[in-house]
């Protein structure tokens, strides 16, 4: 099942290989953990517009958490749209569920964010704003990064996870992000069977926690971005095709409802006939993504004052920098 799912995902996202912009300035295979492991590498791409620094968007691939070296697929999916909108693109690898049990995957994402922030001047990055996006399992990790700003560890009943982690040399830096675009990410892994309950058998969710989701509900809750939502989190754009047969559309309905209740949902785009990539990825939704990031970056630039910014409902909130 694992091999079939990865093959299907790669077939979908290889359709977008032509979107890569070859003429951008780039640094490839930078190791953000200091351990020379391929799964801890990232790539940085800059637009060729002559600016001294660019606001970055971190992009995360989908693989059902099975992949540890698919960063190029994330860049091929989003790269051109984001570069042409003036953003730096940071495509990252992370450990797979075969490499390490959760929360290793979100630990890696946060380590990559800290690396970008710590090395911003070296790579012409303006880290006053950091956006993040991902599709499928990458959407889950991007969403989790957004709702765990300021969270170091978290406990549900008797189960505690270290969300921040201690990966890399830059643990004193913030791993917070300023805006999130979630493309059809799985959110509540206890409800992946059309949001009625967990899938049975050898599911990607079971591999992620190395246990049956139905028997490990506390740990599953700790994988759920909704668990951590509060009003200080960044704004979100959520995009999901209504014909997705891999991640149920209702997953994004649940997430959008929870975000909206806290005033954090900019928009939930339900794409008619959108599948798990095909149709959902299109010029219109890519523009929705870039417009959202441009608006949030402008908001950060214009209104950030002494570590404060203004949320969508015009309430002052504290942001980590």
CATH number at residue 76: 3.40.50.1820
pLDDT tens, residue by residue, 281-313: 999 999 999 999 999 999 998 866 445 544 444
Average pLDDT of the chain is 91
Q: How far apart are CA 193 and CA 251, in angstroms?
A: 10
Q: How far apart are CA 309 and CA 321, in angstroms?
A: 11
Q: How far apart are CA 288 and CA 185, in angstroms?
A: 17
Q: What are phi and psi of 47, to 5 degrees?
A: -65, 155
Q: How far apart are CA 156 and CA 263, in angstroms?
A: 24
Flag whether pLDDT at 9 surpasses 70.
Answer: no
Angle (nearest 5°) at CA 104 between 162 and 124: 100
Q: Respond yes or no on whether the N-terminal peptide bond of residue 291 is cis (omega within 30° of 0).
A: no
- Return the CA Rg of the chain: 18
Please indicate whether residue 316 or residue 42 has the higher confidence score (pLDDT).
42
pLDDT tens, residue by residue, 115-169: 999 999 999 999 999 999 999 999 999 999 999 999 999 999 999 999 999 999 9
Please check whether residue 304 is in contact with residue 55, taking contact to mean a CB–CB distance below 8 angstroms.
no
Which residues partner with 79 through β-bridges? none
**Looking at residue 19, what is its pLDDT?**
44
Least confident of 5-9, 148-152, 194-198, 249-253: 5-9
**Looking at residue 293, what is its pLDDT?**
99
For CA atoms 228, 119, 28, 51, give the dihedral sign.
positive
**Looking at residue 311, what is its pLDDT?**
42
Give every CB contact of residue 119 below 8 A, 6+ residues apart in sequence. Answer: 125
Q: How far apart are CA 74 and CA 123, in angstroms?
A: 20
Sheet holding 56-60, edge to edge: 25-31, 41-46, 88-92, 56-60, 131-135, 179-183, 235-241, 265-271
Q: How far apart are CA 54 and CA 46, in angstroms?
A: 7
Q: How many domains does the chain have?
A: 1
**Looking at residue 302, what is its pLDDT?**
81
Q: Mean pLDDT over residues 236-263, rounded?
A: 98
Q: Quick one: which of 179, 44, 54, 50 has its CA closest to 126?
A: 54
Q: How far apart are CA 286 and CA 284, in angstroms?
A: 5
**Distance, CA of 285 to chain centre:** 16
Q: How far apart are CA 94 and CA 118, in angstroms?
A: 19
Structural domain including 131 reads 2-318
Q: Quick one: which of 293, 307, 239 has its CA closest to 85?
A: 293
pLDDT tens, residue by residue, 16-62: 444 444 456 999 999 999 999 999 999 999 999 889 999 999 999 99
């Amino acid at each position: 099942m694992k091999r079939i799912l990865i093959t299907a995902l790669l077939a979908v996202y290889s359709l977008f290989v032509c979107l890569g912009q070859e003429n951008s300035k780039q640094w490839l295979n930078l190791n953000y953990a200091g351990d020379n492991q391929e799964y801890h590498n990232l790539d940085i791409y800059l637009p060729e517009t002559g600016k001294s620094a660019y606001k970055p968007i971190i992009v995360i691939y989908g693989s059902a958490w099975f992949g540890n070296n698919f960063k190029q697929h994330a860049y091929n999916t989003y790269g051109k749209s984001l570069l042409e909108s003036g953003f730096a693109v940071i495509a990252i690898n992370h450990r797979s569920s075969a490499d390490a049990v959760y929360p290793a995957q979100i630990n890696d994402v946060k380590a990559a964010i800290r690396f970008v922030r710590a090395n911003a001047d070296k790579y012409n990055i303006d880290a006053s704003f950091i956006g993040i996006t991902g599709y499928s399992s990458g959407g889950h990790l991007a969403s989790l990064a957004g709702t765990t700003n300021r969270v170091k560890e978290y406990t549900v009943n008797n189960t505690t996870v270290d969300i921040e982690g201690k990966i890399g040399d830059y643990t004193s830096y913030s791993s917070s992000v300023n805006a999130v675009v979630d493309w059809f990410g799985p959110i509540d892994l206890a409800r992946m069977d059309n949001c009625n309950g967990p899938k049975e058998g050898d599911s990607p969710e079971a591999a992620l926690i190395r246990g049956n989701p139905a028997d490990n509900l506390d740990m599953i809750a700790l994988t759920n971005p909704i668990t951590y939502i509060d009003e200080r989190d960044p704004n979100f754009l959520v995009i999901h095709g209504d014909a997705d047969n891999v991640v149920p559309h209702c997953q994004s309905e649940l997430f959008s409802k929870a975000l909206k209740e806290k005033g954090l949902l900019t928009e939930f785009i339900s794409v008619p006939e959108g599948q798990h990539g095909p149709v959902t990825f299109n010029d219109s939704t890519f523009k929705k993504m870039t417009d959202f990031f441009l608006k949030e970056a402008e908001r950060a630039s214009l209104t950030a004052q002494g570590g404060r910014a203004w949320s969508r409902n015009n309430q002052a909130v504290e942001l980590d920098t």
